[in-house]
Structure 1
Amino acid sequence: MKVTFLGTGTSQGVPVIGCECDVCRSLDYRDKRLRVSVHLEVEGKSLIIDSGPDFRQQVLRERIKRVDALLFTHEHKDHTAGMDDIRAFNFMQRIDMPVYADERVLRQLQQEFSYIFTNATYPGVPRVELHPISNQPFEVQGIQVTPIQVMHHKIPVFGFRVGDFTYITDANFISEEEKEKVRGSKVVVVNALRREPHISHFSLSEALALLEDLAPQQAYLTHISHLLGLHREIETELPPHIRLAFDGLTLSL
Protein backbone atom coordinates (compact mmCIF):
# COMPACT_ATOMS: atom_id res chain seq x y z
CA MET A 1 0.00 0.00 0.00
CA LYS A 2 1.14 3.53 -0.79
CA VAL A 3 -0.39 6.38 1.22
CA THR A 4 -0.12 10.01 0.10
CA PHE A 5 -1.28 12.89 2.27
CA LEU A 6 -3.08 15.22 -0.13
CA GLY A 7 -3.83 17.74 2.60
CA THR A 8 -3.11 17.96 6.33
CA GLY A 9 -4.68 21.27 7.31
CA THR A 10 -7.78 22.26 9.20
CA SER A 11 -10.91 23.82 7.67
CA GLN A 12 -9.23 27.18 6.97
CA GLY A 13 -6.02 25.68 5.67
CA VAL A 14 -2.58 27.05 6.51
CA PRO A 15 -1.70 29.86 5.98
CA VAL A 16 -4.97 31.37 7.15
CA ILE A 17 -6.25 34.31 5.11
CA GLY A 18 -5.09 37.58 6.66
CA CYS A 19 -3.03 35.97 9.45
CA GLU A 20 0.48 37.23 10.21
CA CYS A 21 1.53 34.62 12.78
CA ASP A 22 4.88 32.83 12.47
CA VAL A 23 3.28 29.69 11.06
CA CYS A 24 1.29 31.52 8.39
CA ARG A 25 4.39 33.51 7.35
CA SER A 26 6.65 30.44 7.43
CA LEU A 27 8.62 29.60 4.28
CA ASP A 28 8.85 25.92 5.28
CA TYR A 29 6.82 23.90 2.74
CA ARG A 30 5.67 21.64 5.59
CA ASP A 31 3.78 24.58 7.10
CA LYS A 32 1.68 24.99 3.92
CA ARG A 33 -1.39 22.85 4.58
CA LEU A 34 -4.32 22.31 2.23
CA ARG A 35 -7.61 20.90 3.50
CA VAL A 36 -7.37 17.36 4.80
CA SER A 37 -7.48 14.38 2.40
CA VAL A 38 -5.54 11.18 1.75
CA HIS A 39 -4.89 8.96 -1.29
CA LEU A 40 -4.50 5.19 -0.95
CA GLU A 41 -3.01 2.97 -3.64
CA VAL A 42 -3.69 -0.63 -2.62
CA GLU A 43 -3.84 -3.85 -4.62
CA GLY A 44 -3.85 -1.89 -7.87
CA LYS A 45 -6.78 0.30 -6.80
CA SER A 46 -6.81 4.06 -6.20
CA LEU A 47 -8.99 5.32 -3.34
CA ILE A 48 -9.35 8.86 -2.00
CA ILE A 49 -10.73 9.73 1.42
CA ASP A 50 -12.48 13.13 1.34
CA SER A 51 -12.44 15.70 -1.46
CA GLY A 52 -12.28 19.14 0.09
CA PRO A 53 -12.08 22.58 -1.54
CA ASP A 54 -8.46 21.93 -2.61
CA PHE A 55 -9.17 18.59 -4.31
CA ARG A 56 -8.32 19.70 -7.85
CA GLN A 57 -5.03 21.26 -6.78
CA GLN A 58 -4.09 18.18 -4.74
CA VAL A 59 -4.82 15.70 -7.53
CA LEU A 60 -2.84 17.77 -10.03
CA ARG A 61 0.10 18.12 -7.64
CA GLU A 62 0.30 14.37 -7.07
CA ARG A 63 -0.41 13.56 -10.75
CA ILE A 64 -3.21 11.18 -9.85
CA LYS A 65 -4.51 9.79 -13.13
CA ARG A 66 -7.12 7.36 -11.81
CA VAL A 67 -9.58 7.20 -8.91
CA ASP A 68 -11.57 4.01 -8.38
CA ALA A 69 -13.69 5.27 -5.47
CA LEU A 70 -14.24 8.24 -3.18
CA LEU A 71 -14.90 7.73 0.55
CA PHE A 72 -16.28 10.43 2.83
CA THR A 73 -15.66 10.68 6.56
CA HIS A 74 -18.48 13.18 7.10
CA GLU A 75 -20.38 16.02 5.47
CA HIS A 76 -18.47 19.18 6.43
CA LYS A 77 -17.47 21.38 3.52
CA ASP A 78 -13.74 21.13 4.10
CA HIS A 79 -14.15 17.41 3.35
CA THR A 80 -16.72 17.45 0.53
CA ALA A 81 -16.59 20.74 -1.39
CA GLY A 82 -14.37 19.46 -4.18
CA MET A 83 -16.53 16.54 -5.27
CA ASP A 84 -17.47 18.35 -8.48
CA ASP A 85 -13.92 17.81 -9.76
CA ILE A 86 -14.41 14.06 -10.13
CA ARG A 87 -15.82 15.02 -13.57
CA ALA A 88 -12.35 14.60 -15.06
CA PHE A 89 -12.23 11.01 -13.84
CA ASN A 90 -15.74 10.37 -15.19
CA PHE A 91 -14.48 11.48 -18.59
CA MET A 92 -11.15 9.64 -18.55
CA GLN A 93 -12.39 6.40 -17.03
CA ARG A 94 -15.88 6.44 -18.55
CA ILE A 95 -17.48 5.42 -15.27
CA ASP A 96 -19.83 6.85 -12.68
CA MET A 97 -17.65 7.48 -9.63
CA PRO A 98 -18.45 5.13 -6.72
CA VAL A 99 -19.01 7.25 -3.58
CA TYR A 100 -19.12 5.62 -0.14
CA ALA A 101 -20.53 7.40 2.90
CA ASP A 102 -23.04 7.22 5.71
CA GLU A 103 -26.70 7.73 4.70
CA ARG A 104 -26.73 11.12 6.46
CA VAL A 105 -23.69 12.24 4.52
CA LEU A 106 -25.12 11.04 1.21
CA ARG A 107 -28.29 13.06 1.84
CA GLN A 108 -26.18 16.15 2.50
CA LEU A 109 -24.22 15.58 -0.71
CA GLN A 110 -27.49 15.33 -2.64
CA GLN A 111 -28.51 18.68 -1.15
CA GLU A 112 -25.18 20.45 -1.64
CA PHE A 113 -24.71 19.11 -5.17
CA SER A 114 -28.37 19.04 -6.17
CA TYR A 115 -27.54 19.70 -9.84
CA ILE A 116 -25.93 16.25 -10.01
CA PHE A 117 -29.07 14.46 -8.92
CA THR A 118 -31.87 16.25 -10.78
CA ASN A 119 -33.80 14.47 -13.53
CA ALA A 120 -32.83 17.19 -16.00
CA THR A 121 -29.05 17.18 -15.72
CA TYR A 122 -26.96 19.03 -18.27
CA PRO A 123 -23.91 17.65 -20.08
CA GLY A 124 -20.67 17.64 -18.10
CA VAL A 125 -22.05 17.35 -14.56
CA PRO A 126 -20.31 14.83 -12.29
CA ARG A 127 -21.66 11.30 -12.45
CA VAL A 128 -21.67 9.40 -9.17
CA GLU A 129 -22.84 6.05 -7.89
CA LEU A 130 -23.88 6.30 -4.24
CA HIS A 131 -23.07 3.50 -1.82
CA PRO A 132 -24.47 3.89 1.72
CA ILE A 133 -22.30 2.42 4.45
CA SER A 134 -22.90 1.72 8.13
CA ASN A 135 -20.56 0.93 10.99
CA GLN A 136 -19.78 -2.48 9.50
CA PRO A 137 -16.88 -3.62 7.28
CA PHE A 138 -17.50 -3.20 3.55
CA GLU A 139 -15.69 -3.75 0.26
CA VAL A 140 -14.54 -1.11 -2.19
CA GLN A 141 -13.38 -2.52 -5.51
CA GLY A 142 -12.47 -5.74 -3.71
CA ILE A 143 -10.60 -3.89 -0.93
CA GLN A 144 -11.79 -4.60 2.63
CA VAL A 145 -12.50 -1.38 4.55
CA THR A 146 -13.36 -1.23 8.25
CA PRO A 147 -15.12 1.96 9.42
CA ILE A 148 -14.15 3.41 12.80
CA GLN A 149 -16.94 5.51 14.28
CA VAL A 150 -15.65 8.52 16.21
CA MET A 151 -17.35 11.63 17.52
CA HIS A 152 -16.70 15.15 16.23
CA HIS A 153 -18.42 16.93 19.16
CA LYS A 154 -22.00 15.70 18.51
CA ILE A 155 -21.48 14.54 14.91
CA PRO A 156 -20.62 10.90 14.16
CA VAL A 157 -17.66 10.67 11.79
CA PHE A 158 -16.10 7.64 10.14
CA GLY A 159 -12.43 6.89 10.23
CA PHE A 160 -11.29 4.04 8.00
CA ARG A 161 -8.94 1.09 8.40
CA VAL A 162 -7.50 -0.58 5.31
CA GLY A 163 -5.13 -3.42 6.14
CA ASP A 164 -2.53 -2.16 8.60
CA PHE A 165 -3.37 1.51 8.01
CA THR A 166 -5.96 3.47 10.04
CA TYR A 167 -6.96 7.04 9.22
CA ILE A 168 -8.99 9.16 11.67
CA THR A 169 -9.76 12.84 11.27
CA ASP A 170 -12.17 15.29 12.91
CA ALA A 171 -12.50 13.45 16.21
CA ASN A 172 -12.49 14.33 19.87
CA PHE A 173 -13.79 11.01 21.24
CA ILE A 174 -13.38 7.33 20.37
CA SER A 175 -15.16 4.65 22.36
CA GLU A 176 -13.31 1.63 23.71
CA GLU A 177 -15.26 -0.60 21.33
CA GLU A 178 -14.14 1.42 18.32
CA LYS A 179 -10.55 1.56 19.54
CA GLU A 180 -10.47 -2.24 19.34
CA LYS A 181 -10.95 -1.96 15.56
CA VAL A 182 -7.80 0.17 15.37
CA ARG A 183 -5.55 -1.95 17.55
CA GLY A 184 -2.95 -3.88 15.63
CA SER A 185 -2.62 -1.24 12.92
CA LYS A 186 1.00 -0.66 12.03
CA VAL A 187 0.31 2.96 11.07
CA VAL A 188 -2.33 5.20 12.67
CA VAL A 189 -3.17 8.73 11.55
CA VAL A 190 -5.17 10.94 13.92
CA ASN A 191 -6.10 14.60 14.08
CA ALA A 192 -4.32 17.06 16.37
CA LEU A 193 -5.70 20.55 15.87
CA ARG A 194 -3.73 22.65 18.34
CA ARG A 195 -2.26 22.61 21.85
CA GLU A 196 -5.32 24.00 23.60
CA PRO A 197 -8.46 21.85 24.13
CA HIS A 198 -11.13 22.16 21.43
CA ILE A 199 -14.82 21.30 21.45
CA SER A 200 -14.66 18.93 18.48
CA HIS A 201 -11.01 18.00 17.78
CA PHE A 202 -8.25 16.29 19.71
CA SER A 203 -5.60 18.62 21.06
CA LEU A 204 -1.95 17.62 20.71
CA SER A 205 -1.79 16.09 24.18
CA GLU A 206 -5.07 14.23 23.66
CA ALA A 207 -3.88 12.82 20.35
CA LEU A 208 -0.60 11.69 21.92
CA ALA A 209 -2.45 10.02 24.80
CA LEU A 210 -4.69 8.18 22.34
CA LEU A 211 -1.69 6.99 20.33
CA GLU A 212 0.07 5.81 23.48
CA ASP A 213 -3.01 3.69 24.20
CA LEU A 214 -3.29 2.32 20.64
CA ALA A 215 0.48 1.70 20.41
CA PRO A 216 1.00 1.57 16.63
CA GLN A 217 4.49 1.07 15.23
CA GLN A 218 4.25 4.47 13.54
CA ALA A 219 1.79 7.35 13.84
CA TYR A 220 1.15 10.64 12.09
CA LEU A 221 -0.80 13.73 13.13
CA THR A 222 -3.05 15.55 10.67
CA HIS A 223 -5.86 18.16 10.48
CA ILE A 224 -3.40 20.68 11.90
CA SER A 225 -4.13 24.37 12.41
CA HIS A 226 -1.72 27.29 12.47
CA LEU A 227 -2.26 27.40 16.24
CA LEU A 228 -0.31 24.18 16.78
CA GLY A 229 3.00 25.81 15.91
CA LEU A 230 5.84 25.52 13.42
CA HIS A 231 6.36 22.06 11.99
CA ARG A 232 10.09 21.98 12.76
CA GLU A 233 9.50 22.95 16.41
CA ILE A 234 6.61 20.60 17.16
CA GLU A 235 8.51 17.65 15.66
CA THR A 236 11.24 18.03 18.31
CA GLU A 237 8.67 17.47 21.06
CA LEU A 238 7.24 14.23 19.66
CA PRO A 239 8.23 10.63 20.42
CA PRO A 240 10.39 9.10 17.65
CA HIS A 241 7.53 6.97 16.26
CA ILE A 242 5.09 9.90 16.00
CA ARG A 243 5.53 12.56 13.32
CA LEU A 244 3.55 15.46 11.94
CA ALA A 245 2.13 14.64 8.53
CA PHE A 246 2.60 17.24 5.83
CA ASP A 247 1.15 17.76 2.37
CA GLY A 248 2.75 15.42 -0.16
CA LEU A 249 4.17 13.02 2.44
CA THR A 250 4.08 9.43 1.14
CA LEU A 251 4.23 6.20 3.14
CA SER A 252 4.81 2.65 1.95
CA LEU A 253 3.29 -0.17 3.95
Structure 2
Amino acid sequence: MNLKATILGCGSSGGVPRVGGDWGVCDPKEPKNRRTRCSLLIECWSGAKEPAIEEKTIILIDTSPDLREQLLGANVKRIDALLYTHDHADQTHGIDDLRALAYRMRKKIPTYMDLHTHQHLSKRFDYCFEVPDGRHHPSILEMKPLIKEGESFIVDGPGGEVNIQSILLSHGPTPSLGFKFANKLAYSPDLRDIPDKSIKYFEGTHTWIIDSLRYLEHPTHFNADRALEWLAKTRTKRGILTNLHIDMDYKNLSNEIFGNTIVAYDGLEINI
Protein backbone atom coordinates (compact mmCIF):
# COMPACT_ATOMS: atom_id res chain seq x y z
CA MET A 1 0.00 0.00 0.00
CA ASN A 2 1.38 3.39 -1.04
CA LEU A 3 0.60 6.51 0.98
CA LYS A 4 0.78 10.24 0.35
CA ALA A 5 0.10 12.56 3.26
CA THR A 6 -0.65 16.25 2.82
CA ILE A 7 -0.30 18.59 5.78
CA LEU A 8 -3.45 20.67 5.35
CA GLY A 9 -2.60 22.65 8.47
CA CYS A 10 0.22 22.55 11.03
CA GLY A 11 -0.51 25.52 13.29
CA SER A 12 -1.37 25.57 16.98
CA SER A 13 -4.89 26.36 18.21
CA GLY A 14 -4.70 30.06 17.28
CA GLY A 15 -2.90 29.55 13.97
CA VAL A 16 0.03 31.67 12.80
CA PRO A 17 -0.33 34.61 12.82
CA ARG A 18 -2.88 34.90 15.58
CA VAL A 19 -5.86 37.19 15.17
CA GLY A 20 -4.57 40.74 15.55
CA GLY A 21 -1.47 40.02 13.49
CA ASP A 22 0.66 38.44 16.21
CA TRP A 23 3.44 36.46 14.51
CA GLY A 24 5.48 35.99 17.68
CA VAL A 25 9.06 35.34 16.55
CA CYS A 26 7.92 33.90 13.20
CA ASP A 27 9.14 35.86 10.18
CA PRO A 28 6.02 37.07 8.31
CA LYS A 29 8.04 37.18 5.08
CA GLU A 30 8.52 33.40 5.19
CA PRO A 31 5.42 31.76 3.59
CA LYS A 32 6.00 28.54 5.55
CA ASN A 33 5.34 30.43 8.78
CA ARG A 34 1.70 31.11 7.82
CA ARG A 35 -0.08 28.18 9.43
CA THR A 36 -3.70 27.10 9.59
CA ARG A 37 -4.96 24.73 12.27
CA CYS A 38 -4.07 21.02 12.15
CA SER A 39 -5.73 18.68 9.66
CA LEU A 40 -4.20 15.89 7.57
CA LEU A 41 -5.15 14.29 4.25
CA ILE A 42 -4.08 10.75 3.39
CA GLU A 43 -4.21 9.31 -0.15
CA CYS A 44 -3.73 5.53 -0.54
CA TRP A 45 -3.32 3.19 -3.50
CA SER A 46 -1.87 -0.15 -4.54
CA GLY A 47 0.63 -0.62 -7.35
CA ALA A 48 3.87 1.10 -8.28
CA LYS A 49 2.39 3.93 -10.34
CA GLU A 50 0.41 6.70 -8.67
CA PRO A 51 -3.12 6.66 -10.13
CA ALA A 52 -5.61 9.44 -10.71
CA ILE A 53 -7.29 10.82 -7.61
CA GLU A 54 -10.50 8.97 -8.50
CA GLU A 55 -8.65 5.67 -8.02
CA LYS A 56 -7.30 6.45 -4.54
CA THR A 57 -8.69 5.85 -1.07
CA ILE A 58 -8.84 9.25 0.63
CA ILE A 59 -8.90 9.80 4.39
CA LEU A 60 -9.26 13.09 6.30
CA ILE A 61 -8.04 13.42 9.88
CA ASP A 62 -9.77 16.16 11.89
CA THR A 63 -11.82 19.11 10.68
CA SER A 64 -9.96 22.26 11.67
CA PRO A 65 -11.69 25.67 11.75
CA ASP A 66 -9.79 26.41 8.52
CA LEU A 67 -11.08 23.32 6.72
CA ARG A 68 -12.88 25.05 3.86
CA GLU A 69 -9.74 26.82 2.66
CA GLN A 70 -7.66 23.70 3.27
CA LEU A 71 -9.90 21.44 1.16
CA LEU A 72 -10.13 24.03 -1.60
CA GLY A 73 -6.36 24.45 -1.63
CA ALA A 74 -5.82 20.69 -1.89
CA ASN A 75 -8.59 20.33 -4.52
CA VAL A 76 -10.41 17.73 -2.42
CA LYS A 77 -13.72 16.69 -3.98
CA ARG A 78 -14.48 13.55 -1.98
CA ILE A 79 -13.26 11.59 1.03
CA ASP A 80 -13.79 7.94 1.87
CA ALA A 81 -13.45 8.33 5.64
CA LEU A 82 -13.16 10.95 8.37
CA LEU A 83 -11.15 10.28 11.54
CA TYR A 84 -11.06 12.37 14.72
CA THR A 85 -8.18 12.50 17.17
CA HIS A 86 -10.17 14.30 19.90
CA ASP A 87 -12.94 16.84 20.45
CA HIS A 88 -11.10 20.16 20.90
CA ALA A 89 -12.25 23.16 18.86
CA ASP A 90 -9.07 23.45 16.79
CA GLN A 91 -9.56 19.87 15.59
CA THR A 92 -13.32 19.88 15.06
CA HIS A 93 -14.97 23.25 14.47
CA GLY A 94 -14.69 23.10 10.69
CA ILE A 95 -17.06 20.13 10.68
CA ASP A 96 -19.84 22.02 8.90
CA ASP A 97 -17.54 22.61 5.92
CA LEU A 98 -18.05 18.92 5.12
CA ARG A 99 -21.67 19.63 4.25
CA ALA A 100 -20.81 20.76 0.70
CA LEU A 101 -18.60 17.70 0.28
CA ALA A 102 -21.32 15.31 1.45
CA TYR A 103 -23.83 16.96 -0.90
CA ARG A 104 -21.36 16.68 -3.78
CA MET A 105 -20.75 12.99 -3.00
CA ARG A 106 -24.49 12.40 -2.51
CA LYS A 107 -23.75 10.29 0.55
CA LYS A 108 -22.89 10.58 4.21
CA ILE A 109 -19.23 10.52 5.16
CA PRO A 110 -18.07 7.41 7.08
CA THR A 111 -16.77 8.76 10.38
CA TYR A 112 -14.59 7.21 13.09
CA MET A 113 -13.98 8.49 16.64
CA ASP A 114 -13.81 7.24 20.21
CA LEU A 115 -16.54 7.45 22.85
CA HIS A 116 -15.18 10.59 24.53
CA THR A 117 -15.10 12.52 21.26
CA HIS A 118 -18.53 11.26 20.22
CA GLN A 119 -20.11 12.31 23.52
CA HIS A 120 -18.98 15.89 22.93
CA LEU A 121 -19.39 16.27 19.17
CA SER A 122 -22.80 14.61 18.99
CA LYS A 123 -24.09 17.31 21.36
CA ARG A 124 -22.15 20.25 19.95
CA PHE A 125 -22.94 19.39 16.32
CA ASP A 126 -25.99 17.17 16.70
CA TYR A 127 -27.37 18.12 13.28
CA CYS A 128 -24.33 16.56 11.59
CA PHE A 129 -25.15 13.18 13.11
CA GLU A 130 -28.96 13.15 13.05
CA VAL A 131 -31.70 15.37 11.66
CA PRO A 132 -33.16 17.33 14.61
CA ASP A 133 -36.93 17.66 14.92
CA GLY A 134 -38.29 20.45 12.77
CA ARG A 135 -35.29 20.62 10.47
CA HIS A 136 -35.12 19.43 6.90
CA HIS A 137 -31.43 19.45 6.00
CA PRO A 138 -29.98 15.91 5.99
CA SER A 139 -27.26 14.84 8.39
CA ILE A 140 -23.84 14.43 6.80
CA LEU A 141 -21.94 11.86 8.90
CA GLU A 142 -22.30 8.09 8.87
CA MET A 143 -21.11 6.99 12.29
CA LYS A 144 -19.01 3.85 12.26
CA PRO A 145 -18.56 1.74 15.42
CA LEU A 146 -16.81 3.74 18.12
CA ILE A 147 -13.08 3.13 18.28
CA LYS A 148 -12.13 1.08 21.32
CA GLU A 149 -8.78 1.33 23.05
CA GLY A 150 -5.99 -0.20 20.99
CA GLU A 151 -8.35 -1.20 18.20
CA SER A 152 -7.42 -1.40 14.54
CA PHE A 153 -9.93 -1.05 11.72
CA ILE A 154 -10.17 -1.01 7.94
CA VAL A 155 -11.12 1.88 5.68
CA ASP A 156 -11.99 0.92 2.11
CA GLY A 157 -12.12 2.98 -1.05
CA PRO A 158 -11.14 2.99 -4.74
CA GLY A 159 -7.45 2.63 -3.85
CA GLY A 160 -8.04 -0.46 -1.74
CA GLU A 161 -8.32 -1.29 1.94
CA VAL A 162 -6.21 0.64 4.44
CA ASN A 163 -5.42 -0.81 7.85
CA ILE A 164 -5.50 1.86 10.57
CA GLN A 165 -4.22 1.33 14.09
CA SER A 166 -5.68 3.60 16.76
CA ILE A 167 -3.27 4.65 19.51
CA LEU A 168 -4.40 5.90 22.92
CA LEU A 169 -2.52 9.04 24.01
CA SER A 170 -2.75 11.59 26.81
CA HIS A 171 -3.41 15.23 25.90
CA GLY A 172 -3.28 16.48 29.48
CA PRO A 173 -6.71 15.83 31.04
CA THR A 174 -8.19 14.97 27.63
CA PRO A 175 -7.72 11.59 25.95
CA SER A 176 -6.49 11.83 22.39
CA LEU A 177 -6.01 9.28 19.63
CA GLY A 178 -3.05 8.87 17.37
CA PHE A 179 -3.34 6.84 14.19
CA LYS A 180 -0.94 4.63 12.26
CA PHE A 181 -1.71 4.01 8.59
CA ALA A 182 -0.68 0.80 6.79
CA ASN A 183 1.94 0.28 9.51
CA LYS A 184 3.99 3.09 7.93
CA LEU A 185 2.75 6.55 8.87
CA ALA A 186 1.93 7.67 12.42
CA TYR A 187 0.04 10.88 13.22
CA SER A 188 -0.23 12.39 16.71
CA PRO A 189 -0.89 16.15 16.54
CA ASP A 190 -1.88 16.54 20.21
CA LEU A 191 -0.22 14.64 23.04
CA ARG A 192 1.59 15.16 26.33
CA ASP A 193 2.32 11.57 27.31
CA ILE A 194 2.41 8.14 25.68
CA PRO A 195 1.04 5.33 27.88
CA ASP A 196 3.38 2.35 28.15
CA LYS A 197 0.91 0.13 26.29
CA SER A 198 0.93 2.51 23.30
CA ILE A 199 4.69 2.84 22.80
CA LYS A 200 4.95 -0.33 20.69
CA TYR A 201 2.86 1.23 17.91
CA PHE A 202 5.47 3.93 17.31
CA GLU A 203 8.58 1.74 17.40
CA GLY A 204 10.37 1.52 14.07
CA THR A 205 7.84 3.75 12.33
CA HIS A 206 8.78 4.96 8.85
CA THR A 207 7.28 8.45 9.27
CA TRP A 208 5.83 10.06 12.40
CA ILE A 209 4.06 13.44 12.24
CA ILE A 210 4.33 14.54 15.85
CA ASP A 211 3.15 17.32 18.16
CA SER A 212 5.93 19.86 18.82
CA LEU A 213 4.09 22.91 20.10
CA ARG A 214 6.89 25.15 21.32
CA TYR A 215 10.36 25.23 22.90
CA LEU A 216 9.21 25.47 26.52
CA GLU A 217 7.49 22.67 28.42
CA HIS A 218 3.70 22.66 28.17
CA PRO A 219 1.14 20.86 30.40
CA THR A 220 -0.81 19.33 27.50
CA HIS A 221 1.62 19.13 24.56
CA PHE A 222 5.03 17.82 23.57
CA ASN A 223 7.61 20.54 23.21
CA ALA A 224 10.39 20.30 20.61
CA ASP A 225 12.86 18.52 22.89
CA ARG A 226 10.30 15.93 23.95
CA ALA A 227 9.23 15.30 20.35
CA LEU A 228 12.83 14.79 19.23
CA GLU A 229 13.49 12.54 22.22
CA TRP A 230 10.60 10.26 21.31
CA LEU A 231 11.53 10.15 17.63
CA ALA A 232 14.98 8.94 18.64
CA LYS A 233 13.71 6.56 21.31
CA THR A 234 11.36 4.80 18.89
CA ARG A 235 13.94 4.70 16.07
CA THR A 236 11.57 6.53 13.76
CA LYS A 237 13.09 6.85 10.29
CA ARG A 238 11.58 10.25 9.49
CA GLY A 239 10.01 12.76 11.87
CA ILE A 240 7.83 15.75 10.98
CA LEU A 241 7.12 18.40 13.63
CA THR A 242 3.59 19.82 13.64
CA ASN A 243 1.12 21.85 15.77
CA LEU A 244 3.57 24.75 15.79
CA HIS A 245 3.08 27.87 17.93
CA ILE A 246 4.14 31.46 17.17
CA ASP A 247 7.55 30.93 18.79
CA MET A 248 8.49 28.27 16.21
CA ASP A 249 9.99 30.09 13.22
CA TYR A 250 10.31 27.73 10.28
CA LYS A 251 13.90 28.53 9.28
CA ASN A 252 15.23 28.82 12.82
CA LEU A 253 13.68 25.52 13.89
CA SER A 254 14.81 23.80 10.68
CA ASN A 255 18.40 24.88 11.39
CA GLU A 256 18.24 23.53 14.95
CA ILE A 257 16.95 20.00 14.33
CA PHE A 258 19.02 17.17 12.94
CA GLY A 259 18.92 13.85 11.15
CA ASN A 260 15.82 12.92 9.19
CA THR A 261 13.45 15.24 11.07
CA ILE A 262 11.87 18.20 9.28
CA VAL A 263 9.48 21.02 10.15
CA ALA A 264 5.95 20.81 8.76
CA TYR A 265 4.36 23.57 6.72
CA ASP A 266 0.91 23.93 5.21
CA GLY A 267 0.75 22.07 1.91
CA LEU A 268 3.73 19.78 2.61
CA GLU A 269 3.33 16.46 0.77
CA ILE A 270 4.97 13.31 2.13
CA ASN A 271 5.26 10.15 0.02
CA ILE A 272 5.69 6.85 1.82
TM over 0.5: yes
Is residue 33 of structure 1 aligned with residue 47 of structure 2? no
For the Cα contact (< 8 Å) 1:84–1:126, is it kept in 2? no
Cα distance in 2, alignment partners of residues 55 and 25 from structure 1 = 24
Cα distance change on mapping 1:154 and 1:34 into 2, 3 Å: same
CA distance in 1, matches of 2:95, 2:213: 24
2:153 paired with 1:134: no
Any idea what SS the aligned residue of 2:233 has? helix
Counterpart position of 1:16: 18
Q: Tell me by how many angstroms 1:19 deviates.
A: 4.7
Distance 1:133 1:34, change over 3 A: same
The correspondence of residues 25-104 of structure 1 with structure 2, limited to 5 A, is: 26-43=28-45, 44-104=56-116
Determine which of 6, 9, 20 is the counterpart of 1:7: 9
Match of 2:52 in 1: none
- Residue 205 of structure 1: aligned partner: 225
In structure 1, C-alpha distance between the alignment counterparts of 2:210 and 2:180, rounded to whole Å: 12
- TM-score, normalised to structure 1's length? 0.95
TM-superposed CA distance for 1:174, in Å, is 0.5
Structure 1, unmatched stretches of 5+, are none
User: 1: CA distance between counterparts of 2:176 and 2:199?
Assistant: 14
Aligned-partner Cα distance in 2 for 1:15–1:29: 11
Q: Per the alignment, in what secondary structure is the counterpart of residue 113 of structure 2? A: strand
2:120 matched to 1:120? no
RMSD of aligned C-alpha atoms?
A: 1.5
Q: Where does residue 156 of structure 1 map in the other structure? A: 175
Alpha carbons of structure 1 residues 20 and 96: separation in structure 2 relative to 1, 3 Å: closer
Structure 1 residues 150, 236: closer, same or farther in 2, change over 3 A?
Answer: same
Partners of 2:263 and 2:192 in 1: how far apart? 18
3-state SS of paired residue (1:174)? coil
Whole-Å Cα distance in 1 between the matches of residues 210 and 138 of structure 2? 34
Which residue identity does 2:133 align to in structure 1? A
The whole-number CA distance in structure 1 between the counterparts of 2:8 and 2:253 is 21
Counterpart contact for 2:126–2:132, Cα < 8 Å: no
Q: Distance in 1 between matches of 2:22 and 2:66?
A: 22
Aligned length: 252
Amino acid at match of 1:139: I
Give the superposition deviation at 1:133: 0.8
Q: Contact between 2:113 and 2:147, CA under 8 Å: does it hold in 1?
A: yes
TM-score where L is the length of structure 2? 0.88
User: How much does 1:235 deviate?
Assistant: 0.4
Give the Cα–Cα distance (whole angstroms) in 2 for the partners of residues 235 and 25 of structure 1.
13
Q: Secondary structure at the match of 1:151?
A: strand
Q: Secondary structure at the match of 1:235?
A: helix
> Hey, what's the Cα distance between the residues in 1 that align with 2:256 and 2:38?
23
> How far 1:18 sits from its partner (Å)?
2.3
SS of the residue 1:58 aligns to: helix
Percent identity among equivalent residues? 29
Tell whether the 8 Å contact from 1:15 to 1:25 is kept in structure 2 after alignment: no
Structure 1 residue 126 displacement after superposition = 4.2
Pair 1:108 & 2:117 matched: no
Gaps of 5+ in 2: 46-55
Q: Tell me what 2:244 maps to.
A: 224
Q: Distance between the aligned counterparts of 2:17 and 2:189, measured in 1?
A: 20
Q: SS at 2:112's partner residue? A: strand
Per the TM alignment, residue 88 of structure 1 is displaced from its structure 2 partner at its CA by 1.6
Give the Å deviation of 1:95. 1.0
Task: Quote the offset at 1:20 in angstroms.
Answer: 4.1
Q: Which amino acid aligns with 2:167?
A: I
Letter in 2 for 1:137: S
| Offset of residue 177 of structure 1 | 2.1
Structure 2 CA distance for aligned equivalents of residues 198 and 103 of structure 1 = 26
Give the whole-Å Cα distance in 2 for the aligned partners of 1:11 and 1:139. Answer: 30
